[in-house]
């Protein structure tokens, strides 16, 4: 009996180790495979020249510019709205039907697949609002997509602010709003920064919602038409060169760059997250 119990324990424990190992090994395999084939294709010319197949130029500068434009515009729209919504939910809202509705909406937005966002952005922002394939249409679509992330992360950060800060400020005669802007928000900044980084990751990685809203034009937009031009992001570029051009050299190099960016963003997000837990530890 005892031996059978031990046997069972041993089998389950090995399964746990095996599955964890499998997950890590898979990631390592994927990274090594893509990076080892991608790195040789990455050089100064690759990231600083335009993309023009007729002139045999396969640089990704327009995609870098396009991705950055999309990130900045999306964050400019989504961060103020998301942070404000999180402030409402944590500082002002009283539990009730309205708050339940807002929470339900946030959860629903998080669950909608990106291709549905793409269809919506296409029909609403591109067609109905006549924005065409443009940075603006793409950024507005992506803004809705990243809102749940921003709201949730900011909410957590606001809730983790030590209540004695708030009480102290209010006791000193500061108004609710002064307390919010001078005490609560500054201490929630690492959390908001995490929200921003997570959103950047989503914008960079998104393809299905971008390709039919921001389009796929591989050109650097003119300075006076930054927001109204169609751009191609790095992810969209990877899709296009891999599936339509079958240019695997560019594809591996682009995939490698995407992996490096995501890894760096993760590192950064972890650093901020550690800051938050450190502070909680002190409190």
Partner 1 sequence: MKDVSVISQRKGLSYEKAIESVFFISALLMVLSVVLIFIYIFMEGVPPILKIGLGPFILGTQWTPTYTTPQYGILPMIMASLIGMMGAILVGVPIGIFTAIMLAEIAPRPVTRILKPAIELLAGIPSVVYGFFGLTVIVPFIRVQLKSPTGTGLLAMIIILAIMVIPTIVNITENSLRAVPKEYKEGSLALGASQIETIFKVTLPAAKSGILASVVLGMGRAIGETMAVIMVCGNIPKMPQSLLSTVSPMTATIAKDMSYAGPFHRSALFGIGVVLFVFIILLNLVLNLLVRKASR
**For residues 222-241, which are near partner 1 according to CB under 8 A?**
235-236, 238-239
CB atoms within 10 A of CB 115: 13
Decide: is 118 part of the binding site for partner 1 (CB under 8 A).
yes
Collapsing DSSP to helix, strand or coil, 58 comes out as strand
Nearer to partner 1, 46 or 247 (CB): 247
What is the length of the chain? Answer: 283
Q: Which residues on adjacent β-strands are paired with residue 58?
A: 51
Kindly tell me which residue out of 51, 133, 212, 272 binds partner 1, with binding defined by CB under 8 A.
212
161 to 62, 157, 184, 203, 281: CA distances (angstroms): 42, 7, 7, 28, 12
Stretch 243-282 residues interacting with partner 1 (CB under 8 A): 243, 248, 251, 255, 258-259, 262-263, 265-266, 270
Find all residues with CB under 8 Å of 239, minimum gap 6, and list them.
Answer: 207, 211
Nearer to partner 1, 105 or 159 (CB): 105
Contact with partner 1 (CB under 8 A) among 40, 48, 52, 113? 113
The interface mask with partner 1, positions 172-191, x = CB under 8 A, is -xxxxx--------------
Cβ-based nearer residue to partner 1, 62 or 121: 121
CB crowding 8-32: b at 16 or more within 10 Å, else e? eeeeeeeeeeeeeeeeeeeeeeeee
- Complex with partner 1: residue 26 or 225, whichever CB lies closer: 26
Nearest-approach distance from CB 223 to partner 1, in angstroms: 29
By CB under 8 A, residue 168 contacts partner 1: no
Binding flag, residue 57, partner 1 (CB under 8 A): no
| Interface with partner 1, residue 7, by CB under 8 A | no
Shortest Å, Cβ 157 to partner 1? 16
Residue 47 or 99: the one with the smaller Cβ distance to partner 1 is: 99
DSSP letters of 13-52?
HHHHHHHHHHHHHHHHHHHHHHHHHHGGG--HHHHHS-EE
Asked if 35 is part of the footprint of partner 1 (rule: CB under 8 A), the reply reads: no
| Helix, strand, coil shares, percent, the chain, to 5 | 80, 0, 20
């Amino acid at each position: 009996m005892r031996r059978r119990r031990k046997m069972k324990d041993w089998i389950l424990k090995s399964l746990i180790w095996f599955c964890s190992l499998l997950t890590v090994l898979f990631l390592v395999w994927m990274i090594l495979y893509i990076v080892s084939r991608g790195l040789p294709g990455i050089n100064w010319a690759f990231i600083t020249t335009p993309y023009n197949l007729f002139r045999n130029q396969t640089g990704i500068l327009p995609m870098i510019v396009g991705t950055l434009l999309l990130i900045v515009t999306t964050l400019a729209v989504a961060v103020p709205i998301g942070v404000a919504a999180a402030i409402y939910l944590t500082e002002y809202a009283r539990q009730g039907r309205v708050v339940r509705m807002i929470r339900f909406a946030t959860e629903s937005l998080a669950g909608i697949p990106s291709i549905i966002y793409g269809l919506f952005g296409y029909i609403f922002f591109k067609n109905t609002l006549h924005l065409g394939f443009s940075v603006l249409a793409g950024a507005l679509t992506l803004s809705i997509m990243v809102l749940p992330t921003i709201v949730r992360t900011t909410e957590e950060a606001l809730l983790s602010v030590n209540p004695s800060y708030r009480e102290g400020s209010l006791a000193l005669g500061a108004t609710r709003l002064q307390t919010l802007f001078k005490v609560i928000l500054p201490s929630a900044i690492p959390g908001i920064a995490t929200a921003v980084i997570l959103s950047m990751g989503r914008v960079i990685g998104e393809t299905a919602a971008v390709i039919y809203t921001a389009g796929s034009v591989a050109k650097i937009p003119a300075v006076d038409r930054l927001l109204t031009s169609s751009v191609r992001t790095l992810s969209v570029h990877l899709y296009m060169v891999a599936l339509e051009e079958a240019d695997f050299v560019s594809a591996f190099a682009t995939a490698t760059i995407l992996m490096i960016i995501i890894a760096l963003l993760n590192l950064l997000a972890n650093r901020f997250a550690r800051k938050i837990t450190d502070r909680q530890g002190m409190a």
